[in-house]
């Protein structure tokens, strides 16, 4: 240790003098991200744990999806959540109406020219005339 109190170059030989062994554990993907534990044992010290830097908790950091201004629902207030649900209902109703209209048009196209042809409904003014 006394030989290497001040060194200017970091080499493999220098590293081998300080490290006793390195234990690499099996990778874990259960959280959706690949995590792998590595234990470093130093000569004369034993197992060395690298101190983790404390990350500042910023609540605004995780609220939005990557590169988007859409707020994640788990971070919404009850009012915002209800507004989002109303928007979803309206969007679904519009999509459903378009799908039904498309199906009706397809049925009309199939039945066109047959005795089962769908006749357009007459308005109130046409019925009274």
State residue 33 phi and psi, 5-degree precision. Answer: -115, 145
- Region at 36 (left for phi over 0; alpha for psi -120 to 50; beta for the rest): beta
Per-residue burial over 53-86, b if 16 or more Cβ lie within 10 Å, else e, is: eeeeeeeeeeeeeeeeeeeeeeeeeeeeeeeeee
d(CA 26, CA 129): 84
Looking at per-residue pLDDT, the higher value among 26 and 126 belongs to: 26
User: Which of the four pLDDT bands, split at 50, 70 and 90, describes residue 96?
Assistant: very high
Poorest-confidence range of 6-15, 79-88, 118-127? Answer: 118-127
Range 123-127 average pLDDT? 61
> What's this model's pTM, rounded to 2 decimal places?
0.38
């Amino acid at each position: 240790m006394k030989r290497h109190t001040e060194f200017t170059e970091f080499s493999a030989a220098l590293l081998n003098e300080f490290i006793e062994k390195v234990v690499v554990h099996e990778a874990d993907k259960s959280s959706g991200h690949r995590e792998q534990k590595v234990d470093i044992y130093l000569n004369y010290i034993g197992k060395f744990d690298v101190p983790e830097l404390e990350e500042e908790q910023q609540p605004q950091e995780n609220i939005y999806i990557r590169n988007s201004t859409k707020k994640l629902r788990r971070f919404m207030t009850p009012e915002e959540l209800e507004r989002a649900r109303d928007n979803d209902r309206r969007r679904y109703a519009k999509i459903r109406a378009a799908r039904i209209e498309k199906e009706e048009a397809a049925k009309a196209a199939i039945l066109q020219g047959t005795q089962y042809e769908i006749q357009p409904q007459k308005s109130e003014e046409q019925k009274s005339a």
